[in-house]
Structure 1
Amino acid sequence: MIDLYLSDKYYSHWPEIKELALSDEPEAFEKLKKYALEGYGSHHSHRLRGPILIKRNRFRLSTPAFGLIRVTGADKIDVQDGPDVVSVKSGDTVFTNFITAGLDPSKFPDPY
């Protein structure tokens, strides 16, 4: 999530985030929590109390994990991958790429 707030678009929030992180005040923690929730977010825009307005879908673009590797247990399955169909059989290793999935224009018409 740090890379989100270090990006050009959201960097203006970074000085306040650093200041809040050094504070022992309960209000500072609550505001940091709001920044974290905004960075995590969903696909809707949301306004927090105060001047912060950030598209809540940015966690989709700034994910802490880039994918997941699994070994399939199903005998055989066909997986739709965009326009392609991929046949997967038991014992195959499959990687799900969270970054490219989050940019799928059929699910996110304006992915950025």
Structure 2
Amino acid sequence: MGEHRIYGMSFGSIHQLYVNKVERKGHTRDELDQVITWLTGYDDQGLERAIDSGVSLRDFFAEAPAMNESAGLITGVICGVRVEDIEDPLMQQIRWMDKLVDEVARGKKMASILRTPA
């Protein structure tokens, strides 16, 4: 079976869909970018470069400075699949990001989204 087509989609186009989603729910791009930088280790400038360059999701994650060591604490269901059960590492990273975006859109507290101890 061939590679999943989402891997070749541009991060910039996906990011814009995320922005639309969180803004529609009354949240901001800054909140969105905060969770993406937490997950991937990109700084704000690196994130902007990835958005502007048209880099694929595959390359966005491959070039991520440092995936957060707490990313494994991200659990739950996205598209009917438990993120902690996804075996393909790239798909799991994409779904972790989806899960964080969903939590921002739902208005979950940032400390909880970023898996910060109480």
Which entry has the higher C-alpha Rg, 1 or 2? Answer: 1
- TM-score normalised to structure 1 length: 0.30
Which structure dedicates a bigger proportion of its chain to helix?
Answer: 2
